[in-house]
Amino acid sequence: MHVSLAHFLVVGALLFCFGLVTVATRRNGVGVLMGVELILNAANLNLVAFNHYVVGGVSGQVFALFVIVLAAAEAAVGLAIVLAIFQTFKSIDVRAADALRE
Amino acid sequence: MEHATRELAPILVHQVSYLWLIPAFPLLGSVINALFGWQFERAGKKKLVHVVAIGAMVCALAVAVRAFLQMYGMDAEHRFLQDTLWNLLTAGRLTVDLAFALDPLSMMMVLIITFIGTLIHVFSVGYMWDDVEAYWRFFTWLNLFVFSMLLLVMGDNFAVMFFGWEGVGLCSYGLISYYYKDKEKAVAGMKAFIANRFGDFGFIVGMLLLFWGLGGGWGAMLGARGAAYEPTGSMNTVASASTASESKALAPQVEVGEGKVVKIGPTLNFRELRDQVVIEKTGVMEHLKEQKLWGIGLLALIGVFLFVGAMGKSAQIPLYVWLPDAMAGPTPVSALIHAATMVTAGVYMVARLNFLFALAPSAMGWVALIGAVTAIFAASIGFFQYDIKKVLAYSTVSQLGFMFIGVGVGAYWAGTYHLLTHAFFKATLFLGSGSVILGCHHEQDMRKMGGLSKYMPVTRWTYLIACWAIAGFPWASGFYSKDEILWKAYTARHLELFGVATPWLGPVIYLVGIIAATGTAFYMFRSYYMTFSGTYRGGAGHHDEHDEDPHAALAAPHHATSAHPRDGAMHAIAKAQEEAAHVAHGHDAHGHAAHDDHAGHGHHGGTPHESPLSITFVLTVLAAGAVLVSLLGIPTAWTHAAPILEHWLEPVLVAEVPFAEKPQWMEFLFQAIGVGAGVVGWAAARALYKDDAQHEALEAFKQRFFAAWTVVYNKYYVDEAYQKVVLAPALAFARLMSWIDSNVIDWLVNAAGAVTRLVANFDGLIDKYLVDGAVTAVANLTLESGRGLRRFQTGRVQTYLYGIMAGALVLVLFNFVIR
């Protein structure tokens, strides 16, 4: 079976949807961050696939590498926020951090 | 006598810095007495009051003499001293300063006022010393009067003059009503004040008409007047200035030769007015002559209105009625205010504005005619009066009429000269009557006098000299002034009435004047003989007959028609008050040596006595003056030189009035007629009244012409006529207005109030329900929507994410749908 661009895009779309659902439904702050990682990786997959099938060269791969690095930084910041939330609300449930409500 | 045409130049002003002192001293004296006088009296230093007052007068006199000496040393053309204190008003081209000016005319007036004023102050000490009213109040008013009078004559412009004009009216009111507890006297003061108000109205109208005629105006009116008046091209532009110098720069000026410029245009300043009117080069004279208002020459209108002002102040028909009543004031007041100074203000004003009046023959004719009618009318009333002061009051009205004949026919210097001589002899007469009244224990009725020459020699002789003067016997001053006036009246051919030339008016006025002069001699000598000759008719019990009505013995039915019973009753009340006063403060309080001689007899039943030295001294000086001022006016026909006073006044009286040329023998003849008139009047009075003569001829005359006699005795019922014609309608009108006020106006006001309330209530409803409702609705809407919307703000990131996802979905779906 020939693996085409469409296969990659479908996998990417699935990954994005999983990530989105994870972010939207997870009560755990760390879980939400993991969902964000899934979304970023779905984007990375698309970048690499389009580079391979449409553009050629290495620019897509390099772009994906940068995204991975940024994701690591983002995860670090995100985890720090989760830690701060925990210290403040004694919980990492994202519903607990609703001090800005009303 | 034709005046040589003079080449007139602008007045050269000589600035001096001390003129303000002349009015300042009396003002200071007045203020001191007003503030501290009552304390002086309470502290037993009553003397201090008149020391202050007389001191102020003497200082003013000294400064006036100083000014006179300075002026005397100058050339005739330079005799104009000015002292500007400060700026009162600046508007556009108009500047009004508080400034004093002395030219020969006002110099003469200032000398009269300060000299005779000082003497009358001295006289007042003797006359008022025993007065139970406030001594200090009298001197406060008297000094204040002198201050106002000095402002009137020294004012450099209409504004200052008008201030004095009103001030003398006020002081006159205060002094006439000096015994304000006596209602009759208080009312007399009010009458004087109100009659003067009518005159003042005319004065203001004349003044403003003049201002308007010179080009002053209020924007919109400017175009209405002819455009011919453009001597400098910018007469009628309205410009603004805020300081005197800016204003001066704005004023249009005309070059009149020799590098001199004259300011033209509206002004209130006498000097500027005189310069621009008399110097023909400015064109102002032609402009004024051409102007008409409602078809009447503007100059005539100005003259007539200004003369209405003079009528009020100088007691001419029909506004003379206040002057006889003004005799309610103390006698020195009558002498100073109602004979020597204030009442001559009108004459002074006409003489001051001679250049204006000379341009309007109609106004001149009017002035002369009113003067002549007043002269004979008042003289005839004087025939049958019994109150010595009333005789003198009517005499004053009559003499003022003579002065107006003088200034009316254009013999300005003669009118002014009569003013001067009258000031002396009438002051002598009034003070003499004051001395008589004092000597007869406040008796004013001449029927209760008689034989006083024995008791009061000084008073008698001075009174006689003044009678000579007023009757016009040679070598007493009245002769020179009166004959000059009448001669000029006879030769006047230029007079007009209502724009119609009336060359006959001069001779007619002469005829009226000579009859009035005869009458003058008659009533003056009548008063003299009734008072001083015969035997003393006063004495014990004379109060019982005080209410006697002169008609009662003759015809009882007339009693009711006469106004006299009321007067008599009033008199009796006043008498009783005086009596009480005298009893109250005892005879010793008089403190005069002259009074000592009647310590032994009862006050009212006693013989008359000569007055104290302060009074006789003043009388002597004034009587001497009444003779000596004749030196100032010895006629040209005698000396072939202009009289001293005419020469002195020449720089001021610039008006050129044509008089008919008459041969000199005619002038001598007329002087002889004048003397003859005086002699006839004197002889008649002597025959009828000397030595208590109860002449049958007189009684027969009285019986025969009783109706006419009654009319004259009751002063032609003028007061009653005023009561009916002016006062009653005025009061009726006032009542009508009061009714309208309380019924119509108040109703309107109430209705307006009710309507306003109704509208307000309606408006309140609108406010409450419509406006407030809208505001509340907006607020509620916001509140409700906020309440609904805040559910969406959960504070949970995931909720918002749903929103984002829904939004993205919608965008995507739209993308498909629109495609």
Residue ranges covered by each domain of chain B: 360-542+609-713, 718-818
- In this prediction, residues A62-69 reach a mean pLDDT of 94
- Rounded to an integer, the average pLDDT of B780-796 is 86
Compute the distance between CA of residue B338 and CA of residue B344 in angstroms, rounded to an integer: 9
Number of Cβ atoms within 10 Å of the Cβ of B755:
10
Helix-helix angle B388-409:B412-439, to 10 degrees: 170
**For residue B83, what are its two tokens?**
């002292």
DSSP secondary structure code for residue B155 in this structure: B
Q: Is some CB atom of chain B closer than 8 A to the CB atom of A97? A: yes
Nearest to B795 among A20, A32, A98 (CB): A98
Q: Are B465 and B429 in contact (CB under 8 A)?
A: no
Q: Does B707 touch chain A (CB under 8 A)?
A: no
pLDDT at B800: 85
Residues of chain B in contact with residue A20, where contact means CB-CB under 8 angstroms, are 805
Nearest chain A CA: its distance from B776 CA (Å): 24
The answer to whether A73 faces chain B, any CB pair under 8 Å, is: no
C-alpha span between B213 and B306 (Å, rounded): 14
Residue A67: pLDDT band (50, 70, 90) is: very high
Query: Quick one: pLDDT at residue B695?
Result: 63
Q: Is the CB of B797 inside 8 Å of chain A's CB atoms?
A: yes
Question: Which of the 8 DSSP states describes residue B293?
Answer: E
* CA–CA distance, B299 with B295 (Å, rounded to integer): 12
Chain B residues in contact with A95 (beta carbon < 8 A): 796, 798
Q: The pTM is what?
A: 0.71
Q: Which residues pair with B91 in a beta bridge?
A: B94
> B787, B791, B800, B801: best mutation site toward chain A, by most A Cβ within 10 Å?
B801
Chain A residues with beta carbon closer than 8 angstroms to that of B790? 102
| Contact call for A23 and B801, based on CB within 8 A | yes
Judged by CB atoms closer than 8 Å, whether chains meet at B798 and A25 is answered as yes
Nearest to A13 by CA among A61, A37, A46: A46
Distance from the first to the final alpha carbon of chain A? 56
Instruction: Give the end-to-end CA distance of chain B in Å, rounded to a whole number.
Output: 124
A94/B contact by beta carbon, under 8 A: yes
Residue type, B462: T
Query: Which residues of chain A are within 8 Å of residue B794 when distances are taken between CB atoms?
Result: 98, 101
- Nearest C-alpha neighbor of B349 from the set B397, B402, B403: B403
Indicate the residue of B790, B797, B801 with minimum beta-carbon distance to A102: B790
pLDDT in tens, B173-231: 999 988 888 888 888 898 889 888 888 999 999 988 888 887 754 433 343 344 444 44
Q: How confident is the model at residue B244 (pLDDT cuts 50, 70, 90)?
A: low
Residues contacting B566, CB < 8 A, separation 6+: none
Q: Is the ipTM of this complex over 0.85?
A: no
Please give the average per-residue pLDDT across B781-803, as a whole number. Answer: 86
Is B790 touching A (CB cutoff 8 A)?
yes
- Confirm if B459 and B610 have CB atoms less than 8 A apart: yes
Residues of chain B contacting residue A32, judged by C-beta atoms under 8 Å apart = 797-798
The CA distance from B455 to B460, in Å, is 9
| Interface membership of A54 toward B (CB under 8 Å) | no
Sole residue written with tokens 């006598």: B1
What are the residues whose beta carbons fall under 8 Å from the beta carbon of B217, sequence distance 6 or more? B225, B236, B266
B795–A102 CB contact, under 8 Å: yes
Residue B798 and residue A102: Cβ atoms within 8 Å? no
A26 — phi, psi (to 5°)? -60, 130
CA–CA dist B804, B305 (Å, integer): 98
Shortest CA gap A36–chain B (Å): 12
**Candidates A24, A32, A101; nearest CB to B795:** A101
Nearest residue, CB atoms, B796 vs list A20, A23, A94: A94
Q: Which amino acid is at B773?
A: G
Mean pLDDT check: name the lowest of A85-89, B92-96, B339-343, B418-422. B92-96
Contact A20 B794 (CB under 8 A): no
Do B499 and B300 meet the contact criterion of CB atoms below 8 Å apart? yes
Fold of A5-89: Helix Hairpins (1.10.287)
Section B695-712 average pLDDT: 72
Question: pLDDT tens digits for B108-135?
Answer: 999 999 999 999 999 988 888 887 778 8
Residue positions counted in chain A: 102
Q: What is the pLDDT of residues B540-551, one digit of tens each?
A: 444 434 333 344
Tokens linked to B276: 């621009």
The reply to whether residue B795 touches residue A100, judged by beta carbons under 8 angstroms, is: yes
Test B796 with A20 for CB contact under 8 angstroms: no
Is the Cβ pair B805, A97 closer than 8 Å? no
Inter-chain CB pairs, A–B, below 8 Å: 29
Cβ-defined contact of A99 to B801 (cutoff 8 Å): no
Q: Do B801 and A98 touch (CB under 8 A)?
A: no
For residue B358, what pLDDT is reported? 86
Is A102 an 8 Å CB contact of chain B?
A: yes
Coil vs helix vs strand at B459: helix
The answer to whether the Cβ–Cβ distance between A102 and B793 falls below 8 Å is yes
In whole angstroms, give the CA distance from residue B703 to residue B418. 37
How large is the average pLDDT for residues B393-418?
Answer: 90
Strands (E) in B141-269, as ranges, are 253-255, 261-263
CB B801 to CB A100 under 8 A? Answer: no
Q: List, for residues B62-93, the tens digit of each pLDDT value.
A: 999 999 999 888 887 788 888 888 888 877 67
Q: Is B808 on the interface with A (CB under 8 A)?
A: no
Put simply, the answer to whether B798 touches A94 (Cβ < 8 Å) is yes
Q: Do A100 and B798 touch (CB under 8 A)?
A: no
Longest CA–CA span in chain B (Å) reads 146
Q: Rounded distance, CA B378 to CA B401, Å?
A: 9
B793 to chain A, closest Cα gap in Å: 6
HSE on the CB side for B229, CA within 13 Å? 25
The domain locations on chain A are 5-89
Pairing between strand B14-15 and B81-91?
parallel
Residue B243 has pLDDT above 80, yes or no: no
Whole-number Å distance between alpha carbons of B152 and B169? 11
Please state, rounded to an integer, the average pLDDT across all residues of chain B. Answer: 80
Average pLDDT of the residues in B635-642: 75
